[in-house]
Structure formats: C-alpha cells, structure tokens
Amino acid sequence: MQISNFLTFLSDPKLVLIIALLMPLIVALLILLLNKKRNLRDGVMVIGAAITFIHVYQLLVWYMQDIQITLLVVNIVNNINIAFEVTALGILFAFIASFLWIITSIY
C-alpha cells in the first residue's frame, strides 16, 4: 500500500469513526485469542492502542475544523435514529482515553 493510498483511506470521516469505534473491540478479541502468547498479546495491545489514538486524533482535527461527523447506524422510524456523532465532550473523552490506553499498554 502506498502512502498516498493510506492518506486517502484516512480522509473519509465516517470510516475513521468506524475504525476508532471498532478497534478496541477487535483488540479485545485478539487478546482473548492470544491468551497464551504473552509478548504477541502485549504487542497487539500497544499497536491497537496506537491505531485507535491516531484515528481519534484525526477525528479531533476534523472537529476543530468544524467538520460535523455523524454515523447513522439504523433509522428505526421517521425521526428516530441510532447514530454516533462526534461532540466536544465525546472527542475530549476519546482523546484522553486513547492516549492513556497507549501508556497503560506499555506499562
């Protein structure tokens, strides 16, 4: 994969939001599968934390540029939706939590 393709991959806000939401779940499943292989398990945790932090940071940059990011999961009826939306408090919490996840993974 070329660098330009990777940067294009990170330019879609909804895809970045999906990755930021799903990466901790994927890492948790990998940790369960790699229970006996301690070094590999710890490496997966640090890499997953770093990937999550990068994606949350990108969401923060877009939020600071006043780009509204909303991911509609399902439309139940006309005005009732289940969706994820990047808000000020939510992105602050995600940024701090993903940064601390890297530190606790290394520790």
Supply the pLDDT for residue 6: 54
Q: Element (H or E) spanning 71, and its range?
A: strand 70-77
- Determine the distance from the C-alpha atom of residue 98 to the mean position of all C-alpha atoms in its chain, rounded to a whole number: 8
Cα separation, 65 vs 14, in Å, equals: 16
Supply the pLDDT for residue 2: 52
**Which are the contacts of 99, defined by CB distance < 8 A and separation ≥ 6?**
53
Supply the pLDDT for residue 57: 93
Q: What is the pLDDT of residues 48-105, one digit of tens each?
A: 999 999 999 999 999 999 988 888 888 888 888 888 888 899 999 999 999 999 999 8
- The helix/strand/coil state of 69 is coil
Supply the pLDDT for residue 8: 59
Cα separation, 75 vs 92, in Å, equals: 27
Q: CA dihedral in degrees (71, 50, 28, 68; nearest 10)?
A: -10
* pTM exceeds cut of 0.85: no
- The helix/strand/coil state of 42 is helix
Tokens of 71: 């991911």
